[in-house]
Each structure stands twice: as C-alpha cells, then as structure tokens.
Copies of this chain bind each other. A is one copy, B any other.
C-alpha cells in the first residue's frame, strides 16, 4: 500500500509538503505542488483515513439510531441526513436497534470508542437515561421523537396540533364517532397524538369512548388490521378512524375491505406520516405530512454544529394536512 512517505520520496519533498498538498490548505509553491500532484497520480496514492483519524482525533462518522429500517417513515429522513452529511464530509452509520437494548449498547459504545463523533437518535424506544448520561459527554440530537425533560436538542413537529388537525378534519367531514389507533403510550408522540385527538373531540363537544381507542404495541400492518377487527365488533361502532401512523391506517384500510365495507362511505380513515405507500393504497390515504427530508437535513446540521462546538436550538417544524380519498 503506497503511503505518504512514498509520494514524498518520489516528488523529492518531505511528507509535510505532501500532506499540505493533499489538504490543499497551506501555501506551497506552485511548482512543488505540481511535482507532488504528479507523484500522487503516478503512484495512485490515496491517503489513509486511519492515520488521519488518529492524528486528528476525528472520524467524520455520524451514528443514526433508528428502531427499524423497514419503516418507510424513516427513509426520507435518512435521505436528508445523508445528503447533508456528505456535503460536509461526513458519513453515516445507520444503526437499527430493533428496540433491542443489547444492540443499542453496541452502538452507544461506538461513540465512546471514538468511532462516531455524534448521534442522531430517531428511536422512540431508546433508553432515555443512558442517552441523557451520554449527552453530557458526547454530541447527541434527537429527531422526531424527543424527551421533554432532557436538554438534548431535537427537531420535530407539533404532534398534538397535527393530531388535533387530523381529527378536526374528520369532524368537519361530518363524523362524530371517531376511533383512535394509537401506538404504545410509552412514546411521547403517542401521548401527544392522543392528547390532540381528545382535545379535538372535546372542543367539538363529542364524547370519547374508551373502547374506541386501540393501542398497538409495535409498528406493524397487522396491528392496524387487529384494531379494525376489534372496532367492528363493538355495538356502537365508530364511523371514522384516526391512525397515528400510515402503517396502521393501511392495515386498517385492508381489513375494512375484508369486511365488505367501503372507505370513506362506511368508515373514513386518516393516517399520519405520508409514507410513500399512502398514495398507493386503495383508496388513497388522507394523512398528515411531516417535512421528513427537511427534518433529516436539520438534524444533520444540528449534530455537526454541535460537534464543532456551535450551540444549537431545538426546532419544531410545520406539518400539513393531506386530504385524499379515504376521508
């Protein structure tokens, strides 16, 4: 493997000069520069990032923590992160925790081991205590999910307001009996969306029935189907459903069809996230759009700023109601 020393020898200069040329950030005489550049080409030299990392104590690697890559909600965010990171010379290590603490520990260690310079956490099931403790020594930001009582900066939307808007949309379409398919209320976003749901119902003088609220433990289509199955067994059946994730909503859509009912005539349904498949469902799914790509970009900017010692502020971005055929 050819190293900087070889280039220096061939070019008849010192390694310091080669380094200066490679990082073209110091003044080096024009003719020595061309000599060195020639030698680099000649030997097909590529500097070892291993040596550089050690010397500079930087890895230019970012950790992105997410529960599962198969949730399409994250894909656009990741695109934003990656684009932004690359533009500033960073690369990202995509880490699926599978909500598995052991996995999580492995990834946290990458930070302690200096392999990664910072973490963007999108995992709602992350160990908050560990994250807070880590954030005292290392740069960390949260994206989408966050912790109200932690100093870790975050970028997110106003989930409560978004849920309020979604439910209000259903009410304004004439619905009074509205069900909620929620995820585990361990997660802040689930609690916030439930609050939004309840506030919207109350604001319009509508009753909230416990049996209309379904809790799914994980993010899986099947659970959206289960929810509908339960709801259709009730004596007092809802005429509309607000699902806190498109994934549930699409499962629900499917199950409603299976029962021979029509959307939105018999049951209207609105989802959350505007995942790419929401447009391909039948009928197309009304939903709440989050600016996912932008969230990714901003969280990447934030973590890189934090790494460079720049103070960052949390951001709450705007959401958007997308009315399609399911409502």
Give residues in A with beta carbon < 8 Å to B: 1, 46-51, 53-54, 57, 59, 69-70, 72, 75-76, 78-79, 82, 86, 91-94, 96, 103, 106, 109-110, 112-115, 221, 250-251, 253-254, 257, 276-277, 279-282
B50 in contact with A279 (CB, 8 Å): no
Q: What 5 new A-B contacts, CB under 8 Å, besides A82-B96, A91-B93, A93-B93?
A: A48-B113, A50-B57, A51-B54, A250-B280, A282-B282
Nearest CB in chain B: distance from A50 CB, A: 5
Interface of A is mostly: helix
* Minimal Cβ-Cβ distance residue in B for A53: B50
* Docked CA distance A312–B231 (Å): 54
Of the listed residues A76, A82, A110, the one surrounded by the most CB atoms of chain B closer than 10 A to its CB is: A82
A46 in contact with B113 (CB, 8 Å): yes
Nearest CB in chain B: distance from A241 CB, A: 16
A253 / chain B contacts, CB cutoff of 8 Å: 282
14 A-B residue pairings within 8 Å (CB atoms): A46-B112, A47-B113, A49-B114, A50-B57, A69-B69, A72-B72, A86-B106, A91-B110, A93-B93, A221-B280, A250-B280, A253-B282, A254-B280, A277-B277
A106 / chain B contacts, CB cutoff of 8 Å: 86
A75 / chain B contacts, CB cutoff of 8 Å: 69-70
A280 in contact with B251 (CB, 8 Å): yes
A114 / chain B contacts, CB cutoff of 8 Å: 1, 48-50
* Docked CA distance A220–B254 (Å): 22
Q: Which 9 A-B pairs have the closest CB atoms?
A: A46-B112, A49-B113, A70-B75, A94-B94, A49-B115, A54-B54, A50-B54, A282-B282, A48-B114
* Minimal Cβ-Cβ distance residue in B for A69: B75
A92 / chain B contacts, CB cutoff of 8 Å: 93-94
Nearest CB in chain B: distance from A246 CB, A: 11
* Docked CA distance A268–B94 (Å): 39
* Minimal Cβ-Cβ distance residue in B for A220: B276
* Docked CA distance A205–B54 (Å): 67
* Docked CA distance A69–B109 (Å): 25
* Minimal Cβ-Cβ distance residue in B for A107: B91
A79 / chain B contacts, CB cutoff of 8 Å: 69-70, 96
A110 / chain B contacts, CB cutoff of 8 Å: 49, 91
* Minimal Cβ-Cβ distance residue in B for A86: B106
* Docked CA distance A47–B112 (Å): 8
Nearest CB in chain B: distance from A59 CB, A: 7
